[in-house]
């Protein structure tokens, strides 16, 4: 006889009630806004630009490192966050990282925080981690293994790490010779219809991928309103009452009503 399916922990909760949930990869997007995701020093040479069709860019003082939010209102769920590094200002791309806008906001924030740390470390030293990062791949996936994720390896040069409930994953393409596609790919939800995906191209600093997985498996619960949490995987969430009510978020993320002029403090 098959066991009963897990109980939906939200059945008796008001849709507007705020709760704290884990695991993070199933929590839903949360409140993603520019001031939360982009904690860049806009009073110290960073620039904020409004592009065409609602795009918003943050660009470093060296004009080689940038990050972008691109809304696509005509395609539901197609909004994206992108981080890029150019070989020369506005020149050929060195590497790129993309996130669906449905990626949990806390993961986006933590990767952008690490990005700024790397930039500042390179700026004030002789290091060049944004182009030649010495971080080993095992620093990305070892924390997954220590938190109970499974591991499988294929002969096509990829290895995959899955969470205990199987509704998400991280895939590493360790054999890069003659291969295309991202070196790291992560997703939350069912593989056939994930809630969100993230991709790190070849050349992207491994340190940023490590910051992403560290945030992914963090045991710090995320605040979410019940109505924001994906329906099809909510039976697999651990829920605790929120310590204090949080304002409901507005999704998908939207840029400020009036972008700050380049170089001004936010």
For the chain, the domain total comes to 1
Nearest to 29 by CA among 84, 81, 95: 81
Domain membership flag for residue 201: yes
48-58 pLDDT, tens per residue? 999 888 899 99
Question: DSSP E strands: which ranges in 4-156?
Answer: 18-22, 47-50, 56-59, 65-70, 80-86, 93-100, 150-153
Q: Give the mean model confidence (pLDDT) for residues 234-253.
A: 63
| Residue at 193 is within a domain | yes
* Contact by Cβ (8 Å): 134, 121: no
Token pair 């596609």 is at which residue?
Answer: 181
How far does Cα 180 stand from its chain's mean position?
22
* Cβ-based neighbours of 147, under 8 Å, separated by 6 or more: 217
Burial class from Cβ neighbours inside 10 Å (0-12, 13-18, 19+) for residue 38 reads buried
Name, in order, each residue with C-beta under 8 angstroms of 133's C-beta and a sequence gap of 6 or more.
118, 205, 206, 207
pLDDT at residue number 127: 85
pLDDT tens digits, 113-170: 999 999 999 988 888 889 999 999 999 999 999 999 999 999 999 999 999 999 999 9
In-domain check, residue 161: yes
- H helices of the chain, in order, are 34-37, 105-123, 138-146, 206-216
Instruction: Count Cα atoms within 13 angstroms, Cβ side, for 99.
Output: 28
Confirm whether 176 is domain-assigned.
yes
Mean pLDDT over 2-26 rounds to 83
- The answer as to whether 68 is a domain residue is yes
Q: Which pLDDT does position 260 carry in this prediction?
A: 41
**Would residue 150 count as lying in a domain?**
yes
Cβ-contact 97, 204 below 8 angstroms: yes
The residue with greater pLDDT, 254 or 83, is 83
CA distance 173 to 168: 17
Q: Is residue 3 part of a domain?
A: no
Contact 77, 57 (CB under 8 A): no
Q: Answer whether residue 252 is part of any domain.
A: no
The pLDDT of 180-204, averaged and rounded, is 95
Structural domain that includes position 160 = 18-241
Q: Per-residue pLDDT averaged across 27-51, rounded? A: 92
Is 223 strand, coil or helix? strand
Q: Are 207 and 114 in contact (CB under 8 A)?
A: yes
Helix (H) or strand (E) holding 168: strand 168-173
For the ranges 4-8, 18-22, 60-64, 79-83, which has the lowest average pLDDT? 4-8
């Amino acid at each position: 006889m098959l066991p009963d399916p897990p109980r939906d922990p939200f059945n008796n909760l008001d849709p507007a009630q705020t709760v704290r949930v884990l695991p993070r990869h199933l929590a839903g997007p949360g409140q993603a806004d520019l001031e939360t995701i982009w904690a860049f020093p806009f009073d110290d040479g960073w620039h904020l630009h409004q592009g065409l069709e609602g795009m918003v860019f943050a660009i470093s003082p060296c004009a080689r490192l940038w990050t972008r939010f691109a809304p696509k209102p005509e395609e539901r769920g197609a909004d994206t966050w992108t981080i890029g590094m150019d070989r020369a200002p506005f020149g050929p791309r060195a590497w790129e990282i993309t996130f669906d806008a449905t990626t949990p906001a806390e993961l986006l924030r933590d990767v952008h925080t690490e990005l700024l740390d790397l930039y500042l470390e390179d700026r004030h030293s002789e290091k060049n981690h944004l182009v030649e990062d010495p971080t080993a791949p095992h620093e990305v996936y070892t924390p997954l293994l220590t938190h109970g994720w499974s591991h499988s390896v294929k002969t096509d040069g990829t290895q995959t790490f899955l969470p205990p409930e199987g509704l998400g994953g991280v895939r590493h393409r360790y054999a890069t010779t003659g291969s295309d596609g991202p070196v790291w790919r992560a997703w939350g939800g069912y593989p056939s219809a994930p809630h969100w995906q993230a991709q790190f191209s070849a050349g992207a600093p491994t340190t940023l991928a490590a910051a992403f997985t560290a945030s992914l498996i963090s045991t710090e619960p995320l605040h979410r309103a019940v109505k924001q949490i994906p329906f099809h995987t909510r039976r697999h969430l651990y829920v605790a009452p929120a310590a204090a009510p949080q304002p409901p978020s507005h999704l998908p993320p939207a840029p400020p009503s009036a972008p700050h002029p380049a170089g001004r403090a936010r």
